[in-house]
C-alpha cells in the first residue's frame, strides 16, 4: 500500500459570517491510498482557529502519514492522536479502498434506493435584510427546520429576525435552531437565553466559549432553551474524558462533526455515551467538500436518527466537486443518476 495527498482550497460563493469572523475560503486536503490497482480517497479538512489540529506542522503530519501508511490503521491512529481530521481522512480513505465503488462507503437505502435524510437550512450571519432573504429562500425551498447563526450582529436585531419568523410560522410549522459559536459571555448568557426562549427554539448551540465547564453546567441545568454542545467536544480524547464531560455538564444535546472530533469511531463513542445519559444528538458537516460530505452523509443515514441533520453545505462553494448529493425540499438525496466528475477525481488521484 502507498499513499499521497493533495491540497484544495474551497472558495465560498458568498462570504459567510459566523461569530468567529467572515469565511471566504476553506482549506482541505485529500488523502489517497493505493493498493492492488485500486485507490481510496478521504478528506482531511480543518477550520482555521477552531480545529484542534490547526497547527503549523499539519502538512508535515500528512506527509508522515503517507510515508508510513504501511504501519496500518491502528498504529497510525495511535500516532495521529492530536490530528482528528487526518484520522478522519484516513478512516474514509481505507473504507473507500475496500469498497467496490470508492464513493459508496456505507451501502444503504440512502445510496441504493434514494431514501433521503432530513436536514436543516443554514442561515449565515449578515445584515438583517440578508438574513431575512436567506430565511425566505430556505422556506420557499421547502425547509421546515432552520439553523440561524447568531452572535455577530446586534442582538436586538437577531431577536427581531426570530420574531419575524415566529409571527408567520409556529414551532409546529418551522423548527428553529440557533448557533452562537460561543459568542455570549458567561455573565450575559443567562439573560440572553431567557430572551431567546420567547421564540420557542428547538435548541442553541454552544452559547459560551468551550472550556468554561462550571458556567456551561449551570446554563444546561437552568436554561429555558435546550443547549447543544458543539465546540466543547473538540480536543476531548479517550472514552473516559468523554464520559466525564457529558456527566459533568449534562447538556440536552451534542453535535457531532467527525472532521473535528476524530472520525466515525470517535463519533460513535460520543453517541453511545450520550444515549446512556439520555442526551440527544445529531450530525453536522464541518464545511467539507462533497467528498467528505458524501462520507459523513452515508454514515449518518446508517445511524437511524430521524432529526434534521446539518448536512446541507454542499452548495456553498464555487469549486466543489459535482456529486450525486442533491438537496431538495429540506432533504439530502443521493441520486443514482448523477455521477462524480471523473476528470477532477482522476487529477486528485494521479
CA 11 to chain centre: 18
The strand pair at 38-45 and 21-35 is best described as antiparallel
CA dihedral for 333, 143, 20, 212, sign (positive or negative): negative
Q: Which residue has the cell 481510496?
A: 40
Which of 263-295 are b and which e, b meaning 16 or more Cβ less than 10 Å from the residue's Cβ?
bbebbebbbebbeeeebbbbbbbbbbbbbbbbb
Q: How far apart are CA 305 and CA 253, in angstroms?
A: 13
Q: Residue 106: how many CB atoms within 10 A of its CB?
A: 19
What does the DSSP 8-state code read for residue 257?
A: -
**Which one, of 189, 263, 258, 261, lies nearest residue 227 by Cα?**
189
Q: How far apart are CA 243 and CA 75, in angstroms?
A: 24
Set 138, 147, 192, 257: catalytic member? 257
Is 94 within 8 Å of 73 (Cβ atoms)? yes
The strand pair at 175-179 and 203-205 is best described as parallel
* SS3 of residue 198 by DSSP: helix
Residue 257 is a catalytic residue: yes
Is 95 within 8 Å of 291 (Cβ atoms)? no
Set 26, 138, 149, 242: catalytic member? 149
Residue 242 is a catalytic residue: no
Is 227 within 8 Å of 254 (Cβ atoms)? no
Q: What angle do CA 157, 160, 166 make, to 5 degrees?
A: 150
**Which one, of 295, 287, 342, lies nearest residue 111 by Cα?**
295
Active site residues: 149, 257
Amino acid at each position: 500500500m502507498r499513499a499521497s495527498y493533495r491540497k484544495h482550497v474551497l472558495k465560498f460563493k458568498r462570504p459567510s459570517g459566523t461569530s468567529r469572523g467572515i469565511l471566504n475560503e476553506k482549506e482541505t486536503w485529500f488523502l489517497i491510498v493505493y493498493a492492488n490497482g485500486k485507490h481510496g480517497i478521504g478528506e482531511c479538512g480543518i477550520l482555521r482557529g477552531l480545529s484542534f489540529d490547526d497547527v503549523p506542522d499539519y502538512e508535515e503530519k500528512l506527509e508522515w502519514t503517507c510515508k508510513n501508511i504501511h504501519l496500518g490503521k491502528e498504529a497510525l491512529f495511535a500516532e495521529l492522536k492530536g490530528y482528528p481530521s487526518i484520522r478522519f481522512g484516513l478512516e474514509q480513505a481505507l473504507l473507500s479502498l475496500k469498497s467496490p465503488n470508492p464513493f459508496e462507503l456505507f451501502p444503504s437505502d440512502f445510496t441504493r434506493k434514494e431514501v433521503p435524510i432530513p436536514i436543516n437550512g443554514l442561515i449565515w450571519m449578515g445584515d438583517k435584510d440578508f438574513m431575512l432573504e436567506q430565511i425566505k429562500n430556505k422556506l420557499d425551498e421547502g425547509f421546515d427546520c432552520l439553523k440561524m447563526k447568531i452572535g455577530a450582529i446586534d442582538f436586538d436585531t437577531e431577536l427581531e429576525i426570530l420574531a419575524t419568523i415566529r409571527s408567520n410560522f409556529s414551532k409546529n410549522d418551522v423548527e428553529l435552531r440557533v448557533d452562537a459559536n460561543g459568542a455570549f459571555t458567561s455573565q450575559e448568557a443567562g439573560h440572553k437565553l431567557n430572551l431567546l426562549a420567547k421564540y420557542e427554539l428547538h435548541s442553541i448551540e454552544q452559547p459560551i466559549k468551550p472550556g468554561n465547564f462550571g458556567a456551561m453546567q449551570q446554563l444546561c441545568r437552568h436554561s429555558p432553551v435546550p443547549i447543544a454542545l458543539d465546540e466543547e467536544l473538540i480536543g476531548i480524547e479517550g472514552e473516559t474524558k468523554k464520559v466525564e464531560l457529558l456527566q459533568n455538564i449534562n447538556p440536552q444535546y451534542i453535535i457531532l462533526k467527525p472532521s473535528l472530533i476524530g472520525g466515525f469511531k470517535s463519533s460513535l463513542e460520543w453517541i453511545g455515551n450520550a444515549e446512556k445519559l439520555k442526551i440527544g444528538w445529531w450530525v453536522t458537516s464541518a464545511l467539507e467538500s462533497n467528498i467528505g460530505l458524501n462520507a459523513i452523509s452515508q454514515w449518518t443515514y446508517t445511524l437511524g436518527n430521524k432529526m434534521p441533520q446539518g448536512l446541507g453545505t454542499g452548495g456553498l462553494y464555487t469549486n466543489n466537486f459535482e456529486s450525486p448529493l442533491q438537496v431538495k425540499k429540506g432533504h439530502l438525496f443521493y441520486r443514482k443518476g448523477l455521477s462524480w466528475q471523473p476528470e477532477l477525481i482522476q487529477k486528485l488521484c494521479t
